[in-house]
Amino acid sequence: MLLPKHHTQRFDLNHELHARPFAELRPPAQASYLALLAGETTKPVEEQCLAELCACYGRPPPSVAGDHYSADLGPFEIKWERHTEFTSYTFLGNAPSTLPSAFANLVIDQVPQQWLAALPGTIIAAAHVAVLPAAAGPPPTEEVTPLFGGNPVVGARIGDGAGAAYTDFRIHDDGFSRFLIFDVHLTSRQGGRMLQRMLEVETYVMLALLTFPLARGLLPELSVSDRRLAEITTRMAEAIPADEPTLLDRLTRLAAEIEHSVSSTHYRFGAARAYYALVEQRIAELREVRIEGVQTFREFTERRLAPAMNTCESVARLQSALSERIDRASQLLRTRVEVEREQQNLALLASMDRRARLQLRLQQTVEGLSVAAVTYYTVGLIGYFAKAGKTLGVALNPDLVMAGAIPLVALLAALGVRHIRRTVSREGGR
């Protein structure tokens, strides 16, 4: 069949729809889970570790281009997934079928210990999950509690009653938290989905909480910055023009500090919102039905996680509000400084105008004196010539000659000064 050319990403996008399939669980089963914070630079190391593990059990290594991999290695199955901020490893195997021994003979004990120790990154979440058959319904909560060290448990029927799940959301002595799932009439794929949802809730809760210490640490800094801003705005109301540049400099420094704080925490606050939304979504997908006397997963997160997330949101809003207040104060102070400078410029221009008028008057006075001086000396020279002519016998009256020359000389001198002034003015205007 002749068809138009396929989009270059069509098959990759279709493959992505079916990527990361859920494991198929048939009780009794057990899973051990690790979520490690890892950067982009650790990806080659992770792939090398997976290749070494697969080689130990004669299995093909994962694709270098992929972000997920699963394989049955014999003693256990492994599922590897790489996410934006973390990488997860899930190890699946058989489990004892009795409740008291649900967390005995852990599947992670089958994994080479040196290989585990060499994994890159730091653990942010770790959990053991036991899946037991319970066709007659889950056992009483009192029988479940001892598996969690006597701690109060959180739980609910899941899948609209097709199963039940319990946890205490605590890290036990081995560094792992524990989840217990009872299969009432879950299909194998439903069981895999419920397992995945429980592990994702555990992981996303911890990732969301990563921001909480940061937010709590920022509160004192924001309080100090708020007081500094209040002090500056108070001084602005009382400041004289000479104080305004100093106040503007202080405001600019404070704005830079807050902007640095916002830019350095913006990603983390955004990540906390996203992870909290994922926690709520995954809990909704569990389709909980209450077990009498047991706190549900949603109730636990609303009571324990929601206040921490509210603190993060509050700090983010405080940062934003403080930044906006600083910006408004800066604009106000800059306006005052600009108005003051305009007033100074107007005063300077007025002073320059007065000086120019004085200089013009002085120039006119000097020009008048110059005409008088030129006339005086020129008429004097004419008088000398007239006296010399009279001595030589020319019939001249020197006094009359000098008197008659005064108007003509004065006019010529005035015209000459005027011509010079115009010439200088034209050259100055070029």
User: pTM of the prediction?
Assistant: 0.78
* 331's tokens: 């604009």
- The string of pLDDT tens digits covering residues 282-300 is 999 999 999 999 999 999 9
- The string of pLDDT tens digits covering residues 74-94 is 899 999 999 889 999 999 998
- The string of pLDDT tens digits covering residues 318-336 is 999 999 998 988 888 888 7
| Coil, helix or strand at residue 133 | strand
* 89's tokens: 């490893």
d(CA 34, CA 126): 5
d(CA 178, CA 153): 10
| Whether pLDDT at 40 is above 80 | no
The pLDDT of residue 403 is 77
Report whether 280 contacts 272 (CB < 8 A).
no
Q: How confident is the model at residue 209 (pLDDT cuts 50, 70, 90)?
A: very high
Report whether 285 contacts 197 (CB < 8 A).
yes
The pLDDT of residue 364 is 67
Report whether 33 contacts 127 (CB < 8 A).
yes
Interior/surface letters 344-379, b for 16+ CB within 10 angstroms, e for the rest: eeeeeeeeeeeeeeeeeeeeeeebeeebeebbeebb
In the chain, pLDDT over 90 holds for what percent of residues? 49
Cα 15–chain centre separation = 33
Residue 185: count of CB within 10 angstroms of its CB: 11
The pLDDT of residue 148 is 94
For residue 154, give the H/E element and its range: strand 154-158
* 144's tokens: 């479940």
The pLDDT of residue 215 is 94
The dihedral through the CA atoms of 370, 375, 378, 383 has a sign that is negative
**Stronger pLDDT, 179 or 407, i.e. the higher one:** 179
d(CA 21, CA 3): 31
- DSSP string covering 192-214, please? HHHHHHHHHHHHHHHHHHTHHHH
Q: How far apart are the first and last CA of the chain?
A: 81
Phi, psi of 38 (to 5 degrees): -150, 145
Mean pLDDT value across the chain:
86
Q: Is the bond into 28 cis (omega within 30 degrees of 0)?
A: yes
Residue 375, by phi and psi: left (phi above 0), alpha (psi -120 to 50) or beta?
alpha
Question: Cα 415–416–419 angle (5° rounding)?
Answer: 85
For residue 348, give the H/E element and its range: helix 297-391
